[in-house]
Structure 1
Amino acid sequence: MTLKPYASHPDASKGRLFAEEESAFRSCFQRDRDRIIHASAFRRLKHKTQVFVEHEGDYYRTRLTHSIEVAQVARTIAGALGLNTELTEAVALAHDLGHTPFGHTGEDAMEEMMAPFGGFDHNAQALRIVTSLERHYAKWDGLNLTWECLEGIAKHNGPVTGDLPYALSDYNALHDLELGTWASAEAQAAAIADDIAYNHHDLQDGLRAGLFTMEDIAELPLLKPCFEEVDALYPDLDQDRRRHEILRRFFGILVGDVIDVARANIATLNPKSVEDIRYAGRGMVLFSDTVFEDLKIVREFLFTRMYRAPSVVEMRKKVTQVVKDLFPYFLENPQELPDNWQRDISDPADKVMLARLVADYVSGMTDRFALTEHARLID
């Protein structure tokens, strides 16, 4: 597919922190994607919480299945807009690498624990993982990804201003990611694909978990017309197929809306290069105002009925305590860290350095490993 002028072209990449000879058969962005897929942190997403703790059921999304779904949506949007699908996919696959065990619950606990030591943010931690903590190559730490891929990871939520998490500021001092600008259209596509994917699959997982019923969501905006269309076309459809048909139409509404809005925004801006996208002063790949407002109502429903459901809240309490126990334990007992982690302790009296090392270790745990270590060391 021919790339649009405002797409990220591999031959115009700003390169890598450590110069490499280019591949004869893969673009620089394809290599980024492949390195992310083969990263240890990517494999660990298989056993990290999305909403339900990993051991609670085989059918619920994990961070890995979520990331794969985000990548699929992001590629669809990028292809429709004439963007670089390889870069889009790479950013999408990497966007959750920095998540702690137990999802946002674990992140909240880690933020509290790390408040005296520079804070914690999962987007910044993802950057730290791909630039430092993945240690497989002979010549450098990290994956040595392209500037464009790192930019997309760092700016997942848009331009980054104000006080920066240490994981972001430390790397940015070495390799300026122009944090105050918007990211490329590819990175924007990956970011909004995240919103689309989790709103769709959280409805599906919440229904499967019995936290709400089809009747409970039938009158929600965006979903109501999907119910009406499916029930008119297939009045005798069994409930499993009915649910799938309704939710895939909801999915399609969100994707189609983003593509339509992005095309209109790009036509208005008439960008001639990727830099025009970065300095546009606003995002290009967005929901329409109408869909955004309707989606807020769906999110409010999910917040009340799923994220704050009694069973979910009870599990949140348990796993929050796991993180709050493990972090101070390793901080006071660094000798309990694995040998390869202890090698990074240059000064045991440097509590900031040690806390950041412990945060790297604990945040990298899978759900099951965190529970096992808690049982072994604390219980």
Structure 2
Amino acid sequence: MTTDARHDSWDELYDDADRARRVLEPPKRVDAPVRTAFERDRARLVHAASTRRLAAKTQVMGPQADDFVRNRLTHSLEVAQVSRDLARALGCHPDVAETAALAHDLGHPPFGHNGEAVLEQLSGPAGGFEGNAQTLRILTRLEAKTVDADGTSVGLNLTRATLDACTKYPWVRADAAPPSGVHGDGSPRVVVKFGVYDDDVPVFGWMREGVPAATPRRQSVEAQVMDLADDVAYSVHDVEDGVVAGRIDLSTLVDQRAEIWATVRDWYAPGLDDALLDDVLDDLVRVGSWPRASYDGSRAALAALKNLTSDLVGRFCGAVQAATFAAYDGVPLVRHRSDLVVPERTWAEITVLKGVAAHLVMRADDRVALMGRQRELLAELVTVLLDRGPDGLERQFADDWRSAADDAGRTRAVIDQVASLTDASAVAWHGRLCRPGAAPPSGA
């Protein structure tokens, strides 16, 4: 099947079950613009309050650190662009893949994975905390757009195909593997990876209807596209941010390779040896746009860095596209009919770039100290809100507290509230509730 033919058959490859919503919605008025079901999904993400909050949530460095560095929203927009372009090239629906990318970080609490670890520790009796499971909860419950016949929120009421594409870890906490390694922001993985809380299993079951019984944990192709786009964006853009921040010098990177390879094995890939990593880096340095001089802040240097970013994204996505087409010639790359194929060499190249950022940016002493203060702040805030109950919560979370059947439900209401906060609002809430009159922790 040619690429053009794939493009022409986007909508034909998705059936009524893929476009189904949990709550049936009446047709839009006749004078409204005509949009497909998947276009409506994308619009709902763009207009969601949870999406806007990402602008004030930590990506790698805090959103107040610098005007240039990424925050969760700009990162999500970049992942969405990569995801859409790759989906279009492969032939799966670009709106589905883009919406999944826009949604993929919605569940992140204040201070990113660092905050996630704190909420996991404090929410064990309520079923734990995980950013991807929180994303599903936001999409299907917390982000108010549609209610059912009983007046209960069903969140954004996205289509089955889009909701499934947003699910990176399609299993419950009890089925999760033990955590290992580190996150892209440098914090150790202490939270098991799962995609649904126990009390959200009913909507998860509806969403996963039609998934082959032989592969119950399989991501949809669109979710795999989103997942790869996230990895590509992390690897390339974190290096770009590090260069502009003065922490990474690409022109002298080969001189630091021994220390960097130790971090690569420690954090991401313990099985990669020096010879392979040396070879991979040598290949990357041979990319025509790789800088031969130190970054000096000039427009010319910034333009060259942007060209490198574009070339690397194209390199990784092009390799994946070619490998996937070779493996699935003539097979629709839609939902659960096929899988994305990431060549081992491409995975190694992405891992090398992640290791560069990890060693030269994430392991900096000032950042490690800040992360400790952030964890203390969130832990104190959760403790105070659990003690105060609904009087300390915003209306929708106070309602959840009052309607909860047990302590686990009340704890979940507090965790949902804290997870919804931005970095800045978490600091403000902490100052108001925990230390009135005191200055906030420095840098938090």
Please state which band the TM-score falls in when normalised by the shorter chain: 0.7 to 0.9
Structure 2 residue 330 is matched with structure 1 residue 312: no
Task: Indicate the residue corresponding to 2:323 in structure 1.
Answer: 261
Q: Deviations over 1:138-193 (max 9, x none)?
A: 54511111111111122x24x53661669444333244333724233222211211
Structure 2 residue 241 is matched with structure 1 residue 205: yes
Flag the 1:337–1:271 CA change in 2: closer, same or farther, 3 A: same
Between the aligned partners of 2:145 and 2:40, the Cα distance in structure 1 is 15
Runs (4+) of structure 1 exceeding 4 A deviation are 3-8, 164-167, 227-232
Q: Deviations over 1:83-104 (max 9, x none)?
A: 2111111111111110111111
Structure 2 residue 113 is matched with structure 1 residue 86: no
The TM-score normalised by the length of structure 2 is: 0.75
Between the aligned partners of 1:41 and 1:123, the Cα distance in structure 2 is 14
Structure 1, 5-14 or 305-314: larger mean CA deviation: 5-14
The TM-score normalised by the length of structure 1 is: 0.87
Structure 1, 361-370 or 286-295: larger mean CA deviation: 286-295
Flag the 1:205–1:258 CA change in 2: closer, same or farther, 3 A: same
Choose from 19, 26, 37 the match for 1:21: 26
Between the aligned partners of 1:207 and 1:6, the Cα distance in structure 2 is 42
CA RMSD of aligned residues (A): 2.8
Residues 54 and 106 in structure 2, CA contact (< 8 A), matched pair in contact too:
yes
Q: Could you tell me the percent identity over the aligned residues?
A: 31
Residues 394 and 417 in structure 2, CA contact (< 8 A), matched pair in contact too:
no
Flag the 1:135–1:90 CA change in 2: closer, same or farther, 3 A: same
Flag the 1:221–1:259 CA change in 2: closer, same or farther, 3 A: farther
Amino acid at match of 2:428: T
Task: Indicate the residue corresponding to 1:170 in structure 2.
Answer: 199
Between the aligned partners of 2:325 and 2:11, the Cα distance in structure 1 is 12
Choose from 309, 317, 324 the match for 2:379: 324
Between the aligned partners of 1:166 and 1:196, the Cα distance in structure 2 is 21
Between the aligned partners of 1:254 and 1:166, the Cα distance in structure 2 is 26
Between the aligned partners of 1:59 and 1:365, the Cα distance in structure 2 is 22
Aligned residue for 1:56, secondary structure, equals coil
Aligned residue for 1:61, secondary structure, equals coil
Amino acid at match of 1:106: G
Between the aligned partners of 1:294 and 1:360, the Cα distance in structure 2 is 37
Q: Deviations over 1:263-317 (max 9, x none)?
A: 12222xx43584xx6265xxx2242111212322322232222222212212211
Between the aligned partners of 1:211 and 1:163, the Cα distance in structure 2 is 40
Aligned residue for 1:17, secondary structure, equals coil
In structure 2, stretches of 5+ residues that fail to align are 176-193, 258-280, 436-444
What is the aligned residue count?
A: 367
Residues 173 and 196 in structure 2, CA contact (< 8 A), matched pair in contact too:
no
Matches within 5 A, 1:1-379: 2-4=7-9, 8-9=13-14, 11=16, 13-23=18-28, 25-137=34-146, 139=148, 141=153, 142-154=155-167, 156-157=168-169, 159-160=170-171, 163=174, 167-174=196-203, 175-178=205-208, 180-217=216-253, 220=281, 222-226=283-287, 238-267=300-329, 270-271=330-331, 274=334, 278=336, 280=338, 284-334=339-389, 335-346=391-402, 350-379=406-435
**Higher relative contact order (Cα pairs below 8 Å, separated by 6+ residues):** 1
Deviation at 1:250, TM superposition (A): 1.8
Structure 1, 6-15 or 331-340: larger mean CA deviation: 6-15
Between the aligned partners of 1:122 and 1:331, the Cα distance in structure 2 is 20
Deviation at 1:248, TM superposition (A): 2.5
Between the aligned partners of 1:350 and 1:229, the Cα distance in structure 2 is 58
Residues 67 and 93 in structure 1, CA contact (< 8 A), matched pair in contact too:
yes
Residues 3 and 9 in structure 1, CA contact (< 8 A), matched pair in contact too:
no
Amino acid at match of 2:200: Y
Residues 92 and 333 in structure 2, CA contact (< 8 A), matched pair in contact too:
no
Flag the 1:118–1:21 CA change in 2: closer, same or farther, 3 A: same
Between the aligned partners of 2:118 and 2:71, the Cα distance in structure 1 is 19
Between the aligned partners of 2:124 and 2:73, the Cα distance in structure 1 is 28
Structure 1, 363-372 or 9-18: larger mean CA deviation: 9-18
Task: Indicate the residue corresponding to 2:269 in structure 1.
Answer: none
Between the aligned partners of 2:379 and 2:8, the Cα distance in structure 1 is 48
Between the aligned partners of 1:67 and 1:253, the Cα distance in structure 2 is 20
Aligned residue for 1:317, secondary structure, equals helix
Aligned residue for 1:97, secondary structure, equals coil
Between the aligned partners of 1:95 and 1:166, the Cα distance in structure 2 is 11
Residues 17 and 160 in structure 2, CA contact (< 8 A), matched pair in contact too:
no
Residues 56 and 72 in structure 2, CA contact (< 8 A), matched pair in contact too:
yes
Amino acid at match of 2:429: E
Flag the 1:170–1:222 CA change in 2: closer, same or farther, 3 A: farther
